[in-house]
Amino acid sequence: MPFNRPSLSQIQNRVQADLQTRIEGSTPSLRRSVLGVFASALSSAIHSLYGFVAYRSEQSVPYSATGDDLARWASLWSVGRRQPTYASGSITITGDPAATIAAGKALQSANGIEYQVSNPVVLDGTGSAVALVTAQVPGAVGNQAGNTLLSFISPALGVNAVAQITADGINGGAELEDDDSLRARMIERIQNPPHGGNAFDYEIWATSVRGVSRAWVFPLYLGAGNVRVYIADDSYAGVTLASAATVAAAQAYIDSVRPVTADVDVVAPNRQAVNIRVTLVPNTPAIRASVQAALADLFTREAAPEGTILLTHVREAISQAVGEYDHNLITPSANVTAAAGAILVLGTLTWT
């Protein structure tokens, strides 16, 4: 039978009744009674103890634990909380030919995030060079869209004060993994213990790497002994689903734990956009936003590298959008399958 935690008033009534039965002639329920004050103070302390016991009860099992307790439970199965990551990307620097920019040179974005040049750069004969920069604060706040501008905090001699982020943007910054994500990975690990290198083992290994949020495993991809592992970093906005650095980190970690006979290659799939053209009834901004959110959720749930998105599922997602009464899906007109090495992503929505 479940235990129902008593409320503060219930505890206070019990304490008052107990005092009245033990001290003849006492009336602790009276407003200004000394025993009534004592009963109130004692009830508050007891109520706090009930709260602490309820909290510790939740922390006593891995399925409901939170915070540091959850992290300790997860560590028993070698599942660690993914730490925050620093965004990085490339910028185009311009100025006088042969001008130099030292490693560590600082730039700042319009929203005040600082970046540092990772490697020394010399401008070429056209007065241009591409440099790698890394955010100096962790998390998604360091991510920047492609073709936006960064400003040197203290420009170098012969170098223009403003640099442009390349088309791929600055990506890869992610927050500290939250409890829900860590708990889900821990439960997956508990329910699917290691099996000496089966497909699920590779998925667990890949998603243990900082920056990897999803993974797909293709055994025998290039023949006997080969395993293809596709990975995704949901904070990355480049042409592929993860940066080269994240791919390299995942490859190195999987190589350290995989069976010695396995030939593993880790790949970030290319984005293959699926443009959608639809007539909505009614056609309002709010319903458009609802449809877009429903389709984005569909692609996140069902898209897989080299996989297929069913036309019926696209129609179903649109139909389930809040406020949608009727629609006519014009494009696509059939199931869509990703090319080799690619994954389907939601492209441009056109409303007619």
- CA angle (270, 346, 281) in 5-degree steps: 170
Give yes or no on whether 88-171 and 192-267 have one common fold: no
DSSP 8-state secondary structure symbol assigned to residue 193: -
> What pLDDT, on the 0 to 100 scale, is given for residue 76?
94
Instruction: Determine the 3-state secondary structure of 225 from DSSP.
Output: coil
Angle at 172 between CA 168 and CA 176, to 5 degrees: 160
DSSP letter, residue 31: T
**Tokens read off for 215:** 């993974």
Domain boundaries along the sequence of the chain: 8-60, 88-171, 192-267, 273-351
Task: Give the model's confidence band at 282: pLDDT under 50 very low, under 70 low, under 90 confident, else very high.
Answer: very high
Q: Which secondary-structure segment (H or E) carries 235?
A: none
Six token digits for residue 186: 């821990």
Rounded Cα distance between 138 and 211, Å, is 12
The answer to whether 14 and 29 are in contact (CB under 8 A) is no
Q: Residue 207: is it exposed, middle or buried by C-beta count within 10 angstroms (0-12/13-18/19+)?
A: buried
Q: Which CATH class is domain 192-267?
A: alpha beta
Residue 166 near residue 132, CB atoms below 8 Å: no
Helix axes 179-191, 199-207, angle to 10 degrees: 160
Q: Determine which of 183-197, 260-274, 295-309 has the lowest per-residue pLDDT on average.
A: 183-197
Reference 42, options 81, 79, 13; nearest CA is 13
pLDDT score of 198 more than 90: no
pLDDT at 83 over 80: yes
Residue 1 has pLDDT above 60, yes or no: no
For position 253, what pLDDT does the model report? 95
Measure Cα distances from 312 to 168, 203, 291, 300, 333 in Å: 33, 29, 15, 16, 10
Q: Rounded distance, CA 329 to CA 62, Å?
A: 45
Q: What is the CATH number of domain 88-171?
A: 2.40.30
| pLDDT > 90 fraction of the chain, expressed in percent and rounded | 76
> Mean of the pLDDT values across residues 222-236?
92
The DSSP result for 253-277, as a single string, is HHHHHS-TT-EEEEEPPEEEEEEEE
Q: Is the pLDDT of residue 2 over 70?
A: no
CB atoms closer than 10 angstroms to residue 223: 7
pLDDT in tens, 328-344: 999 999 999 999 999 99
The amino acid that residue 16 corresponds to is Q
